[in-house]
Amino acid sequence: MTKQRRLTTAEIDAQIDAATQREADERAAGLRADAVWYDHASGYLMLRMTNRRLFGVSVADIPYLKNLTPAQLGSVSLSPSGGGLHWEALDMHLDVPSLLFDALGSRGVARVWATAAGRQTSPAKARSARANGAKGGRPRKHAA
C-alpha cells in the first residue's frame, strides 16, 4: 500500500481558489440556479438560472423523479451555491449542471460554455487582440 502525500496549505488554498473560480464561471455561464419549483400543471421541474433564463424539464424524463408524488416533487430545495437540487425527506440530490447536460446534450452545453468564454476579458486576451490589430486584424473574407 502506498502512502499518500499530505497536501500543503498552499496547495489546499490553490484548490479552494480554483474551485471558487469554477463556481463563478458556472454561475456566469448560467449553469447555476437561483430558484427551483415543481409545476404540477405541466409536470415540469422548473429552474430559474443565474443568467435569468428559465429551464424546465419533464419529471417523466428523470428516472429518479418520475415515480414521485406531486407533494414530494414540490418539496425540492436549492443548494446555497445553486448547483444542486435537494429533496430532504427523500435524501435525494441532483446536480444542476448534470441535469442541464443530460437535457441539452453535449452540443447545447458546449454552446453555453463557448458563449460565456467569448465574453470573458483578461489582460492576456487584451494583449492578444492588440497584437492581432497591429498585424491588420482578422483577414477579410473574400467573395468566391
Q: For residue 18, what is its C-alpha cell?
A: 480554483
Q: What pLDDT, on the 0 to 100 scale, is given for residue 13?
A: 94
* HEC per residue, 72-122: HHHCCEECCCCCEEEEHHHCEEEEHHHHHHHHHHHHHHHHHHHHHHHHCCC
Q: What pLDDT, on the 0 to 100 scale, is given for residue 77?
A: 95
24-134: CATH class: alpha beta
Per-domain boundaries in the chain = 24-134
Q: What pLDDT, on the 0 to 100 scale, is given for residue 134?
A: 84
Task: Work out the mean pLDDT of the chain and round it to a whole number.
Answer: 85
Please state whether 138 falls in left (phi above 0), alpha (psi between -120 and 50) or beta.
beta
Percent above pLDDT 70 for the chain = 92
Q: What pLDDT, on the 0 to 100 scale, is given for residue 144?
A: 57
Does the structure show a pLDDT above 90 at 126?
no
Q: What pLDDT, on the 0 to 100 scale, is given for residue 105?
A: 73
Question: Rounded mean pLDDT of 74-83?
Answer: 91
Bigger pLDDT: 2 vs 132: 132
Closest CA to 59 of 88, 81, 92: 92
Q: What pLDDT, on the 0 to 100 scale, is given for residue 1?
A: 65
Q: What pLDDT, on the 0 to 100 scale, is given for residue 106?
A: 67
The pLDDT tens digits of the residues spanning 25-54 come to 877 777 789 999 999 999 999 999 888 889
